[in-house]
Chains A and B, each alone.
Chain A
Amino acid sequence: MSDFIDLVLLAMLALTGLRIIFLKDLFAVVMLFGIYSFLTALIFINLDAVDVAFTEAAVGAGISSVLMLGTLALTGREEKESSHSSILPLIVVFITGAALIYGTLDMEPFGNPDNPIHKHVAPRYIEDSPKEIGLPNMVTSVLASYRGFDTLGEVVVVFAALIAVLSLLGVPKEGQEKAPASGLKSHQVLRVVAKLIISPIILFALYVQFHGDFGPGGGFQAGVIAAAALILYALVFGLPNAVAVIGPRFLKFMAAAGVLLYASVGFFSMYKGGNFLDYNKLAADPVAGQHYGILIIELGVGITVFAVMLNIYYAFGNQVERSNIQ
C-alpha cells in the first residue's frame, strides 16, 4: 500500500513539474509551485520523514509561496515569449538526464534494509540516542546534539540571509502615524475569522516548539508557524498594524539574540569543562544536561527563525505597499 501511494504521489509530482514548464502565467506557476511543495511533503510523510514533511509544509509551501506572490505583485504576472531556441537546452537536458538514469541503475534497491547507507552511523544513532539523550525523537537528538555545531551553522546562514535581504530592500519605517490603511478591508468575514484563529496558531506554534522532543516538530517549524500567524495578521489587517505589534527593529534584535543564545550554550559548556556544545556538562546528570541543552538551543533556533521569516516578509510587504501608493 505504501508503495502504491508512493507511485501515485510521485506521478502527480512529475506531472506538476511538467505543467510548470509550459505555463506562461506566472501567477499560475506560483500556485502550482505551492501544490508541488504540498505533494513533496506528502511524499516525505509516506517515506517516514515526518519532521522533514513538517518543515516542507510550513516553510516550502507557506513562506516561499507568500514571498513569490509578493515579488509577482512588484514585477508583473506575464512571462514574455522566450527568445531562445529550445533545441539546444533540450539536447543538454536529455543527455544529462540519460547519464543520470544510467547512474541510477547501479544504485541499491529502494528501501532495502541492507543498503550501505543504513550500515554506518545510523545504527549508532538509532540504538544509542534514546539512551544517551533520553528523547524519543531521534531526528531532534541528531539535529540538536550530535550535529549541534552543524545546526548552529545553519542558523547563522538563516541570519545572514536576513542581513542580505534587509540590505537589498530596506526596512519599513516604524511609528508612522499617517500610514495608509491597507489590508483586506472589504472582506468582513475574513477579518473576523482571522481574529479568531490567530491566537490558536500561536498556541500551536508553542506546542510544536516544546513538543518537538517527543513528536515531529522543533525550533525551525515552530518559528515558521509563529511567523505565519503574524503574516496572516499583516495580510488581513495591513502591514502598519502588524509593524505596530512587533517592529522590524525589535525583530532584528530577536534574530541576533537567538543565534547568541545558541552560541552561548556552547561557550557555557566550554566554561563547564567540556567541548563546544557538549551538553553533558550542563548538569550533574548527563541525560538531564542533554535535556537542558536541547531545550535552550531549540528555543534559540525558534526565536531566530521566527524573527528572520517575519522580517523578510516585512521587507517584501513594505516594497509592495510602497509601489502600490505610487
Chain B
Amino acid sequence: MTALYAVVCIAILLVMAIALARAFYAPTVYDRILGVNMFGTKTVLFIAVVGYLMGRPDFLDIAIVYALINFIGMVAVLRFFEYTAPVD
C-alpha cells in the first residue's frame, strides 16, 4: 500500500504544480483565482494522503483547516470584487 500512496502523492504534487503554473500565468484574473482554488483543494487531498504515507493518519485536522481557509479565502476574493470591479 505504501508504494501506492507514494504514487498518489507524486501525482497530486503534479496536479498542484500545474495549478500553480495556472496561477502564475493566467490569461484573466478569474483564471488565477481558479488556479488558487484548485491548488487549495488538491492540497487538502495531499495532506490526507501524506498522513497515510507517513503512517500517522491522525493529522487530518490540518486538512480540515485547509479546506475551511480555502473557502473563506475564496469568499474574501469575491467580496473584494464587489468593491473594485475587475473590468478595466
Q: Give the chain B neighbours of A324 by CB distance below 8 A.
A: 83
- Residue A62 at the chain B interface, CB threshold 8 Å: yes
Q: Which residue of B lies closest to A207 (CB)?
A: B61
| B29 contacts A34, C-beta separation under 8 Å | no
The dominant DSSP class at the B interface is helix
Q: Which residue of B lies closest to A58 (CB)?
A: B65
| A201 contacts B68, C-beta separation under 8 Å | yes
Q: Which of B20, B61, B73, B78 contacts A62 (CB 8 A)?
A: B73
Contact residues, A13-46 vs B (CB, 8 A): 15-16, 19, 25, 27-28, 31-32, 34-35, 38, 41-42, 45-46
| B65 contacts A38, C-beta separation under 8 Å | no
Q: Mark B71-88, 1 if CB is under 8 A from A, else 0.
A: 111011111101110000
The smallest beta-carbon distance between A185 and chain B, in angstroms, is 9
Q: Mark B43-57, 1 if CB is under 8 A from A, else 0.
A: 100110010011000
Q: Which of A12, A46, A228 contacts B68 (CB 8 A)?
A: A228
Also in contact, A215 and B59, with CB within 8 A (given A34-B73, A38-B66, A228-B68): yes
Q: Give the chain A neighbours of B43 by CB distance below 8 A.
A: 38, 42
The smallest beta-carbon distance between B9 and chain A, in angstroms, is 7
Contact residues, A165-198 vs B (CB, 8 A): 184, 187, 190, 194, 197
Stretch at the interface among A49-57, A80-88, A92-100, A156-164: A49-57
| B65 contacts A5, C-beta separation under 8 Å | no
C-alpha gap A232/B13 in the complex (Å): 29
| A204 contacts B62, C-beta separation under 8 Å | no
- Residue A69 at the chain B interface, CB threshold 8 Å: yes
Q: Give the chain B neighbours of A231 by CB distance below 8 A.
A: 72, 76
Also in contact, A12 and B16, with CB within 8 A (given A35-B39, A42-B47, A66-B72): yes
| A31 contacts B33, C-beta separation under 8 Å | yes
- Residue A1 at the chain B interface, CB threshold 8 Å: yes
Q: Which residue of A lies closest to B82 (CB)?
A: A184
The smallest beta-carbon distance between B3 and chain A, in angstroms, is 10
The smallest beta-carbon distance between B29 and chain A, in angstroms, is 7
Q: Mark B22-64, 1 if CB is under 8 A from A, else 0.
A: 0110100100110010011001001100100110001101101
Q: Give the chain A neighbours of B59 by CB distance below 8 A.
A: 45, 50, 215-216
Also in contact, A27 and B80, with CB within 8 A (given A45-B50, A194-B75): yes
C-alpha gap A217/B64 in the complex (Å): 12
Q: Give the chain A neighbours of B62 by CB distance below 8 A.
A: 41, 45, 50, 53-54, 57, 216
- Residue B11 at the chain A interface, CB threshold 8 Å: no
The smallest beta-carbon distance between B26 and chain A, in angstroms, is 8
Interface residues of A, Cβ cutoff 8 Å to B: 1-2, 4-5, 8-9, 12, 15-16, 19, 25, 27-28, 31-32, 34-35, 38, 41-42, 45-46, 50, 53-54, 57-58, 61-62, 65-66, 69, 72-73, 77, 184, 187, 190, 194, 197, 201, 204, 208, 211, 215-217, 221, 225, 228, 231-232, 235-236, 320, 324
For this complex, 25 residue pairs linking A to B, each with C-beta atoms less than 8 Å apart, are A1-B53, A2-B54, A4-B10, A5-B50, A12-B16, A31-B77, A34-B36, A35-B23, A35-B39, A41-B62, A45-B50, A54-B61, A54-B62, A62-B69, A62-B72, A62-B73, A66-B72, A69-B80, A77-B84, A201-B68, A217-B61, A225-B65, A228-B72, A236-B75, A324-B83
- The 6 lowest CB-CB distance pairs between A and B, nearest first, are A62-B69, A73-B83, A66-B76, A69-B80, A235-B79, A235-B75
